[in-house]
Structure 1
Amino acid sequence: MKAKDIMTKDLTSVTETATLKKVEELLSRSRLSGIPVVDDEGKIIGYISEKDIIESAFPALGMGTDMLFVRNWAKNFLRLSQVGESLVRDYMTREPVCVTEEASDFEIVEKMITNHRKVLPVIRDGKLVGIITRSNLTRALMEKKEEQ
């Protein structure tokens, strides 16, 4: 099975000049944990996630263990609200992990697991053509198993 058979043709994305507030709104509406960052021609140039937004408010803590220890929630929520006007370009991952439409299901699984990704952008000639979420992948793998 190839990426083009699994992907959602969701082209939800932002430019690097979008605010983190705009990203948060898109993530909430689309129910994604992250979205691609594209240039004016639709070429993928980065990726921004919920984790990046949280880390923008707490840069000293990082989230290497995916746990965030905080003592003063009111102060920390204030920090999060203040980063809303920050720009995507300052916090995005500049070398996003992507797959092409022809990537195999094994390659997709490998990239998701080794790179700790919940969403993989799918590209053709460097341009965004869709995404694969973990949900897309598990559904496809279950269907493949049933066909065998």
Structure 2
Amino acid sequence: MRVKEIMTAPVVTVPADATPATVAAVLREHRISGVPVVDPDGAVVGLVSEYDLLARSGGTAGEVMSTAVISVTEDTDVDEVRHLLVERRIHRVPVLAGARLVGIVSRSDVVALLATEWVCQVCGEAVRGSQAPTSCPKCQAGADQFVLQDPDPGS
């Protein structure tokens, strides 16, 4: 599965000159824990997380942001993103098309994928994904033969 299938878009962003209070308000309003900082052309120049707001002092997002941003493309495999999130101990990864921000993938996006399972009504094959597959990898049945499997109660 590719990042473009699970990323959140459009992305909430802030400019580098936003105040920490403005960034905090954006995080609270959108119920997110971090936000990309973009330049006037929309290129990502950093990320501000809740941690950055609490641990760093400065008058602008540009002064408190983390500048070592790890990004991926829309065609990056979700397993690669999962690996990045775990190994680098980060919470979100901007998704770029060239230099343009087109989405963001967070830990919660990847976790949600784990809970989404489609079952082929013809052969019983289970496939994880945010959307039903276009065809069954086992029996080649069409997308209309897939139903969303309810998670087990208590899991």
Give the TM interval when normalised to the shorter protein: 0.7 to 0.9
- Counterpart secondary structure, 2:37: strand
Q: Is the contact between residue 99 and residue 121 of structure 1 (CA under 8 Å) also seen in structure 2?
A: yes
Pick one of 68, 74, 82 that aligns with 1:101: 74
Q: Which moved more, 1:134-143 or 1:120-129?
A: 134-143
Stretch moving more, 41-50 or 115-124: 115-124
2:147 pairs with 1:147: no
Runs of 4+ in 1 over 2 A off after TM superposition: 141-146
Q: CA deviation at 1:55?
A: 0.4
Q: Note the 1:117-128 alignment, pairs <5 A.
A: 117-128=90-101
> Partner of 1:30 in structure 2?
30
Q: Which structure ranks higher in relative contact order (CA pairs < 8 Å, sequence separation ≥ 6)?
A: 1
Q: CA deviation at 1:40?
A: 0.9
Q: 1:144 to 1:110 in 2, by over 3 A?
A: farther
Note the 1:124-143 alignment, pairs <5 A: 124-143=97-116
Structure 2 residue matching 1:102: 3-state secondary structure? coil
Q: CA deviation at 1:134?
A: 1.4
Between Structure 1 and Structure 2, how many residues are aligned? 121
- Where is the helix percentage greater, Structure 1 or Structure 2? 1
User: More strand per residue: 1 or 2?
Assistant: 2
Match of 1:113 in 2: 86
Larger Rg: 2
Identity across the alignment (%): 30
- Give me the TM-score of the superposition, normalised by structure 2: 0.72
The residue identity in structure 1 corresponding to 2:18 is A
Aligned partner of 1:92 among 65, 76, 86: 65
| Alpha-carbon separation, structure 2, partners of 1:144 and 1:46 | 34
